[in-house]
Chains A and B, each alone.
Chain A
Amino acid sequence: MLDVQNLSMTIMIEDAAVPILRDVSLQVAAGESIGLVGESGSGKSMTLRSILRIEPENATVSGRITLDGLDVHSLRGEALRRMRATDVAMIAQNPHAVLNPVLPVERYLIEGMHDAQGVPRRQARLRAGELLEQVGIERIDLVLGSYPHQLSGGMLQRVVIAGAIAGEPKLLLADEPTTALDVTTQAEVMAILDECRRELGMAMLFVTHDLDLAASVCDRINVMKDGEIVERGVPEQLRDHPEHPYTRVLMESRPATVMWASNREAEVAHD
C-alpha cells in the first residue's frame, strides 16, 4: 500500500548540501505494522515527514513515494490536503504541539471529523465519546470538556490517538508517540495503540529509538543509521541473529534487563 522507493534527501546548510536520507526503500502492506528504528540523526523522522510532504523547505528530495499507487510528490493543493486528512494520520511525540491550548479537547476531535470527513458536528460529538472509550478513557465527559493543560501527557496522547483513528485512515504514522511518557503510561498507550490498529485493520509505520518497543508491535523492523536502512527483518531475526554490526551495538547497549520479568516469563513457560 505504501511504497517508498530510493528516497534521498539533502538539506542545504550554509552552502553545503548535507545528505539526510540515502536511498531509503521500504514497503508497508495494508494492515501491516512496520518499525523504523534508529538513533538521533538517523533519518527516521525525516522519512516519515517525506510521506506527508512536510519535509523542511530547503530540502531537496528525490525518489518515489506512492500511496495505493498514487505518487505523493505529484499531489498539489486540494489533493494533497485530502491525502493528509483522510488516507494518513500522524501521531507525534508531543501532544501539546498537536492540540490547541485554548480549546477543549473535544473541539480537536469534532473539527477533525467534521472538516476531514464531513461528519455533522452533532454526530461527531457522539462519536468523540465513543473514540475516547476505545482508547481506554473512563471519565469521558470530563476529559472531553478539559483543556490540554488540565490533562496528563498519557491522557493527551490517548486523545491524539482517538483523533488519529477517527477517520479510519489506511495508514498511521507514529513518530516516537510514547517517548515523552512515563514507562508505565507508555506500556498502556502502546497496548491501546496496538489494539486499535489491529481492530480497525490499519497499517502503521512506527518510528522509535527503542528496538524492544518496536519489536512489541511491529511485524517487520528497519534499522536506520546515518540516513540509510542498514538492516531489516522480523523482530525475532534481529534479536537472535543481527547481521549488521550497528544492530548488534544497539542490542548490546541495553542488556536484557529486568531479571524478574524474564525469570517470571521462564516460569510461566515452564508451567
Chain B
Amino acid sequence: MPKKIKKVAVLGAGVMGAQIAGHLGNAGIPSYLFDINKELAEKGKNSLSILKPAPLYQPQNIDMVTSCTYDDDLEKIAEADWVLEAVVERLDIKELIYQKLLPHLKPETILTSNTSGIPLNDLTASLPEDVKQRFMITHFFNPPRYMQLLELVRGKETTDETYNTIVEFGENILGKGIVHAKDTPNFIGNRIGVYGMMTAMNLAIEQGLTVEEVDKLTGPISGRPKSATFRTADVVGLDILKNVSMTTYEKAIEDEERDIFKIPDILNKLIDSDRLGQKTRAGFYKKNEDRSIHSVDLKTGEYAPMDLVRFDCFRIAKDRQRLSDKMKALCFADDRGSKYFWELTARTLIYSANRIPEISNDIVNIDNAMKWGFAWEAGPFEGWDALGVRRTTKRMIAEGKKVPKWVLEMLESGRETFYSVENGQRTYWCPSGKHPVKIKQNPKEFNLLLHKTAGHTIKRDLSASVNDMGDGILNVEFHSILQPRLNPIDSSYVEMVNHALDLIDEGKYKALVLGHQGPNFSAGANLNLFLDLTHNQQWEALDFAVNTFQKMTQRIRFSKGPVIAAPFQLTLGGGTEIIQPAAHRVVAAETYMGFVEVGVGLIPGGGGTLRMILNALDSGTGRMGAFQKIQKTFETIGFAKVATSADEAKHLGLLKKDDTIILNRDHLLQVAKNKALEHAETYEPPQYREDLKLPGAGGRTAMVMALKGFKKQGKISEHDMKIGEKLAYVLTGGDKAGLTKTVDEQYILDIERETFVSLAGEKLTQDRIKYMLKKGKPLRN
C-alpha cells in the first residue's frame, strides 16, 4: 500500500530544489525548503516569483513553501513524509546532510535524492539499513513544472512500498511521467540526450555546418523543441553540459561511443572564456546590446551575424504535415543538410538501441524519457519506426554502420516495427525475449488512439471524429487535417459535435466528452476562412458561419446529457468558446487559455462574449457589482489576456471556480469520462437566462471614458479604440440593458455576432488578420 505524502522537506534551495518545492505548491502540497542559511533559503523561495518560465501556476502558491535552515529548523524534518535532497552534486556534502537529518527522520519517511550523476550505491553507503529501504533517486528535469519526466531509480534494498509511493505521488499528484531507470551514469534522459547533443556538435565541426544550420535541422522540423541543439545547450549552461558529458565519459567505461563524450575544443574554449550560455548572455549564441543575435563560428570561436539557412531537405520537409513525413524528407534528400541529419539520426538510433539492457530493459522507458525530458515529439524507437526500420537498417549496413543485433533479429522475425497496434492492444518488441510484449494499459489513462483501433469510431470526418468511449459516453475528437498541431476550428468539427449531440438528444448516449490527445486542444478559429469571406465581401455567409458556430455552442450548453470538455495546452479564441458552454470542464494544469481576437481586430463572436458575461455574473460573492465584473471581463478580452495555467484561467473568469484541474495530462480523458458518468446520473440542463443584469449605456459611457484616456496617453490606437467601444457595447448589454432592465442570452449572441461581422468588414481588421497569418504575431495598427 503506498503511503500518503502530505508534507515534503526539500533540501537545497538552488534552482532545482526551489522549483520542485514550487511545483509541490502547485499541487497543493506544503513544503519546507532548506538551505544552509536563511538568506539562501529565502533567495531560493523568492526565485519562484522571478524565474521565467514561471515555476508557479499562480503567484500565491509561493505561500505553500516555507524557507528553513539546517541549523534552526531541523526538527521540522520530523513533519515530512518525504525528504527530497537536491543539494550540490558532491557525495561528501550529501552524506553530511543525510547524517544531520537522520536523527529527525520519522521511521516511515521516504528519503530521495535528485542527483543526476552520483550512483545510488555511493549515496546509501553511509545510511543505516532501515533508511536504505526507504531511499531511492527521484530525478526531476529542469524546469520541473514544465518537464513531464521524473526518472526513478531504486536500490537493492528499496522496498516496493517506498518505490510505489513515489510512483503514485509523482504520477497522480505531481502529474509527472514516470520513467523507471537503472543506476547507470546519467540514467536514461541525459545519457541519450547528451549523446545526441555531443554528436550533433562533433558532426557539425566535422561536416562544416554552422550553429544556426544545425538548429534549423534539429528543431521543430524534426519534432524537437524550438531551442534545438545549440540553443538548448545555451539554456542549460555550457558548464553544466560539460559536467554531465564528463560524468558519462568517466563512468561509462564500456560505452562503445565513449569518445563522443570528450569535450570538443570549441566547448572548452567557450567555457574558459566564461561564455556559459544564456546566464552570461553569450555561448553558442550571443545577444548583443542592440538585441541582435550572433552565432559562434565553431572553428574560431568568434561571433558573426547569422547566415540565412537554406536546405532543400528542409524546404521539402516544411511542406509535410506529419512528423514521419518530415523526418523522411530530412533523411532521404541529397543535400548537405540531409547528409548531416541522416548521420546524426542514424548514430542516435543505433546508440539508443545499444543501451538495452544497460540503461533500460525495454524501449518504452527510453522513448518516454526522451519525450518527457527533452520534449522530443517521438522517442528514438518511435522515430525509427516512422522512418522505416528495414529501409534505414539497410542503408546503415551499406554505410558500414553496426546495427545492433536485436534490431536485425526483430526484422528477421518478420516484424517491421518496434511498436505495433492491433485491436486496441499496443505491443513492443522485447530485445531479450525476442518477441512482442503487450504494453499494460494504465487504467488512469484513456488511450484514444488504441481505443479507435479497436473499432470504436462511430463517424469519422476530415478534422474530427465521433468515438464511443464505452459506458454510454461519446467523444468528439479533434484532428485537423490542415494543421494537426494547432487544430484550428473548421466546419468538420462543428458537424461532428452536432452529430454527437444528435445522438445524445435521441437518447442513444448519456454524455459527451470533448477532448483528444493531440498537441493542443485548439488554437482558435480558421482565420483564412474569415479572410476569404471578407475578401469576397460575403457578409451574409460570414454571419451564417458565425451563427452556426454560436448555435453549436448553445446546443452544447443545453444538451440533454452533460457535455464535459477536456482542454489542454493551447486553447484560444474559438477553442475557448467550445469548452465554455459545457456542463463541466476537466482541465490540464498546463493550459494556456484566452481570447486573442482583439489582436486580429475582432471580438469573440462565437458565443465567447456571452460566456464571459455569464461566468462573470455568476462568479464571486457580493462585493463586486455588475459594473466591476464586466469591467474585469472587458480587460480580459480587451487586452487579449492569455492565462498561463488553468489556475490563472479560473482567476481571469475563463473557467468556472468548480472546474476540475488535473496535473497529469495523460489522465485527462479518463477523468473527463468519469465526470461525464457522474454528471449523467442526475443531469438537468441549465435554465436559459433571461435575467442578465448588465451595466447598460451608463456603465458603457464610463468604460469608454477610460478608453479615451488610454487613447490620449498613446497606449492604444484609433482602431483599438473602435474595437474597445464595440466590445464595451456587447459586454454592457447593448441598447437593451441597464440597471433596471434585463436582457437574455440570444440578445447578447445577436449583438456579439453583429459586432464580429462589422469588425470583420474593417480594412484595419483585415490587415491585422493578414499580418497574423503571415507573420504569426499581432499587427498594431
Q: Do A and B bind each other?
A: no
The chain B residues found within 8 Å of chain A, CB to CB, are none
The chain A residues found within 8 Å of chain B, CB to CB, are none
